């Protein structure tokens, strides 16, 4: 009997109690975004290029005179064929650069850019309009999102985590 009691006590104290860590988390979020308006305008410069073969240049092509507020002008060249009857080529290219416009900067009003500089390279991104864009997160966990105007986004999410160790 003593042996039985001794073995029972060893077994009772040797066995550890069962334990487990249980973690439960609920995370809710709503993200509302409205795109911003933007514009980027880059002025381009004037350029002039002339090339040819079997031609003699009489009058050299040239840029015109510069005056504030106007684009740079251009006077074309004149040429004659050097050896009559032989093949010839002549190329003259002019790119007129931007003048100085009256609108040099932009102002964004209510997500709209009302006036832009008129340059050779202009990129415009229209802004969003919030309109009725809305999101609510109730105490009972219910999520509600309402669509807005153009250029808006609404995202609602619920994440549930359960970990047992």
The alpha carbons of the chain give a radius of gyration, in whole angstroms, of 39
Distance CA 78, CA 58 (A): 5
**What is the Cα 35 distance to its own chain's centre?**
10
**Which pLDDT score, from 0 to 100, does residue 64 have?**
77
**Which pLDDT score, from 0 to 100, does residue 157 have?**
92
**What is the Cα 79 distance to its own chain's centre?**
49
**Which pLDDT score, from 0 to 100, does residue 54 have?**
93
Q: Is the dihedral of CA 77, 83, 85, 88 positive or negative?
A: negative
pTM: 0.47
Q: Is the dihedral of CA 139, 142, 143, 145 positive or negative?
A: negative
Mean pLDDT by 10 residues, the chain (165 residues): 55 60 90 84 83 89 72 82 91 82 65 70 80 89 88 90 88
**Which pLDDT score, from 0 to 100, does residue 66 have?**
67
């Amino acid at each position: 009997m003593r042996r039985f009691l001794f073995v029972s006590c060893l077994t009772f104290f040797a066995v550890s109690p069962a334990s487990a860590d249980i973690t439960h988390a609920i995370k809710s979020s709503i993200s509302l975004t409205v795109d911003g308006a933007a514009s980027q305008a880059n002025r381009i410069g004037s350029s002039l290029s002339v090339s040819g073969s079997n031609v003699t240049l009489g009058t050299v092509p040239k840029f015109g005179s510069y005056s504030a507020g106007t684009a740079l002008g251009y006077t074309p060249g004149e040429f004659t064929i050097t050896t009559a009857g032989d093949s010839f080529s002549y190329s003259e290219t002019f790119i007129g650069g931007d003048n100085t416009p009256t609108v040099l900067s932009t102002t964004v009003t209510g997500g709209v850019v009302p006036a832009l500089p008129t340059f050779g390279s202009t990129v415009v991104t229209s802004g969003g309009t919030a309109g009725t864009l809305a999101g609510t997160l109730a105490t009972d966990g219910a999520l509600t999102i309402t669509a807005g105007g153009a250029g808006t986004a609404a995202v609602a999410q619920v994440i549930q985590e359960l970990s047992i160790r």
